[in-house]
Structures are given as C-alpha cells and as structure tokens.
Structure 1
Amino acid sequence: MTAQARFGRRIPRGSATHRARTAVPFLLRWSVLLLAVACWEAAARSQGSVYFPPPLRIARHAHDLWFSGPVGHVFLTTAAVDNVLPSLGRMAAGFAIAAVAGILLGLAVGRSRRAYALCNPVLQFARAVPPPALVPVFVVVLDFGTPMQVASIAFSAVWPVLVNTAEGARATDPLRLEVAAVLRLTGPERLWFLVLPSALPRIFAGLRLSLSLSLILMVFSELLPGTADGIGFTLTDAQSRSDLLTVWAALMLLGVLGYVLNTGLLAVERRLIGPGRAA
C-alpha cells in the first residue's frame, strides 16, 4: 500500500471539497455568535430595561455615532475622528514599541545562558505585576497626556513578547546550531536563518497577549482624570451623563476592535509560519 493510499489523497486548495471543508467551521463559529445575539435580543426586548438594551439598537446607535460620516472621511463621523482614532493611535504606538523592544531584548536574552539566568527573576517579577497597577506610576513620572498613555501601554505589553521570544530562542534545535557552526555561518546569519524562524511561534504567542494588554491599557489610561479624548473618555463621559446606550456602544466597539486586530495578527502569523504551526 502506497503512502498516498494509506493517508488519503491530498485535497487541492481551491477545489470544491476544500472550500466545503473550510466553510463548515466558519459557518459553525458564526452560527454560535448569531445564536447568542438572537438570545440577547429576545431577552432584552422581553425585559424592556433601559440598562439592558437590545444589540440591534446598540449597533444602530454605534453606527450613527461613529460610522455615519461622509464617504470622503471613510464614513467616519467627527466623534470617531476625535475619539476612536486617537485611541487606536496610542495603542498602535505602544504595541509597536513593545513588539520591537520585546523581540530584540528577548533574542538577546534567550541566546545567552548567563543573561537568561540573570534576567529571568526580573522578567518573571515584572510579568506578574498587574498592568493597570503601573498606570499611576507613569502618571507621577510623565503627568497626564499621550506620552504617559503610550509609555504605560508599551511598558506593560513588552513582557509577554520578551519572555516568549526568549523562551523561543532558547528552544532552537542544538543540532541545527552545530550544523551552522560547521558551515561557518556568522552570528547575524544564525540569528536570521535559525533562531528567529524557530522562535516565531512563541513570538506570535507573546504578540497576541501583548495586543490584548495594549487594548486594555489603552482604555484604562483614558479613564483617568485629565483625559480629553479616546474611547475610555467616551465611556466615562457617557456614564456621567447616564447615556447607557453610548456606554454599551463603546463596549461593543472595543469587542469588535479586539476581534479584528487579533484576526489580522493571526493572518500575519499564518502568512509567515504557515497554518500548521499557527495557534
């Protein structure tokens, strides 16, 4: 019996069978979400409570509030430009700083046993500190404003990337490193062709954690007094005015943003390391 007969014929990508097998999990995932939204809609309408509005009403309010602008502004309203875009800018800046610093420091620490032994207690300590607890420290050091918010996001989000990158670098196959030494590859060549590809799955695991932390820290830093814009500011402002529909819309927007950003990061991960190794 041939290996092809034993394990089955490989289904060509793009064929009808491949599309059907891909569509079934997709439909199942979205059917669960639609069922949950339908249950929420039915329960909210049956209760008729102002504190528990139906999701369709929340979605319409979010559309009118942020996404009913002119075509020239990509349908973004003034409220979206003044609050949503600044939040995304702060989160993107903090996450980018955390990603670059975490990967570079993680590779440096992970490739040196002595450096890893010396730095590991500090890394584990910093990793265990709750990120929101550090925001008041940055308020004292940098005062209120965008620099404080970006710094708090970057400092709190860097640790998952750093720790996972260091662990991934340490897990590089020693046999491959010995082969690289025999082939007289330089240090940068070993790092680029061996260490980095080996550590990529762990790096992306850290990046996904950091992305979630960045979103949380972005909102938390905007809840503090002295903030004049952002999604977190919208939440506190709506709460002070008892505008519960806007509060729910902001929460829904945060959930959608988290899902979209995580999906985009997963797409990049599959592109770089392949669907078989992507989590």
Structure 2
Amino acid sequence: MLAGVVIALAVSAMLNTLGVAIGANLVDAAERATPDAASMGIGGGIWLLASHLIGLGLGAYAAARLSGTADGTDGSLHGLSVWATGTLFSAYLLGSVVSSAAGTAATGVSNMLGGLAQGAGNVTAMVGGEAAARTDTGTLQSVSQGVIDRAREALAATNAAPDAMNSDQRKAEIGRLVGRRVTDGQLPQPEQERLAALVAAEAGISPDEARARIQQTEQEAQQALQRAEEEARQAADTAATAAATAAYWTFAALLLGAIVAVLGARAGTRAVLARTTSYH
C-alpha cells in the first residue's frame, strides 16, 4: 500500500509540474496574448483534478497488484487506503506550505516593522534633540496652560446663549448633544431646540434652516447605516455561498478520487487474478 501512495503522489507531482510549465508558456506579456485570469484558473483547476485522479488510479493499481491479492474486496480496500493516505498527506503538505508562507510573511513584516521602528526611533531622537534645543520649559507650560484654558472655557459655557458663546464653546456643546442623540436616541424637545439654536448660531443660518439641516443629517446618517448593514449582509451571504460551493466541489473531488482509486485497484486485482490463472 505504501508503494501505491508513493506512486500516486509522485505521478501527481510530476503532472502538476508539467501543468505549471504549460501555464507559464501560455503567459506572453510582450504580445499581450495571455489568457485571462478566469480561464487560467479554470484550466489550472481541471489540470490539478486530472493529475490527482491519474495519480490515484495508478497508485491504487500498483498497490493492488503488489499486494498479490486476487480478492476484489481486498483490492478495493487497498485502493481506498491509497486514496485516504494520499488525501491526508496532501492536506498536511498543503497546510505546511500555507503555514510556511504565513510564517515567512510574518517574519518579513516583523523585520520591516523593526526597521521602521528603528528608523522612527532615530528620527524621533533627532527631532527630540532639535526640539529640546529650541523649546524651554516655560514655553511648554505656557502652551499647555493655553490649551487647558481653552477647553475649560468650552466646557463652562453650557446653557449660555448661543450668540454669546464662541465657536469652540458652541462646537463643544453641539458635540455633547449629538453624542447623546446617538447613544440615547431621540433628544427631549428642549434639547432639540437648544441644538438647533447652537447650529444656527455656529453656521450663521436661521433656526428653521438649522432644524432642516439637522433632520437631513440624521436621515443621511440613518441611510448610511442601512446601506452599511445591507452591504454587510450581502457580503456575509456571498462568503457563505462561496464557502458552501467550495465545500461541495471539494467533496465531489474527494468522492471522485475514491471511485478512481477503487477502479484502479480492481484493475490491479484482475491483473493479479489473470496472472495466477495463467500459472495454473
């Protein structure tokens, strides 16, 4: 049985190598006569399946022939053993290749990030030295205090008349009300009027125009959310359909491989039987 597995894998690998060579010859970038990606993909898939089936058939035939059995059931079991072992080995090999590729990519990304981090560290050190040479502690404290005072003014202006507030104060309260609208749902009527007054004062428009703008913005946001949800559902459906299709095709390929392995083994069993009969 082991010899049959080795033959099946070797024949499959040989035919796949031939397929790669043929596919590479079809690429003609200079003349722009290369088949499109869909055709190349379909052709490659058919070649891969045919290579797999031919390898299984020959391997199963060899396993049954070398076993010396003249019983059809024993021969079929040898063929199924070749199919099962070859399938598991191929799956393991494919997993190892994918894992190795992922590990290589991760190492490359890690090295790249390490180089970027080192370069960023050098740049940061240079910039930091330049900043330290040109900025003293008093200047930094002055800037920080200015930012703190500006934030304090914006937060302390809540419930003030919108016209009496500066732009930062109005934006701060608008952000607070919009945040509550998103998290809590519909705002109470007084807060809706307050938001409209703030928007009107900030944009230089009438309260009615501000209400219309707020309503339009909310409608656009709801429509955007609905579109995003619909697109997410469609993407999930597409992914599920693709996964189901791939699983069905994989099952069909495995089943076809098992059938070919059994047929090959039965042919090998008949050859053994014919040889035994001729001796008698």
TM-score normalised to structure 1 length: 0.24
Name the larger-Rg structure.
2
Higher normalized contact order (CA 8 Å, seq sep 6+, divided by chain length): 2
TM-score normalised to structure 2 length: 0.24
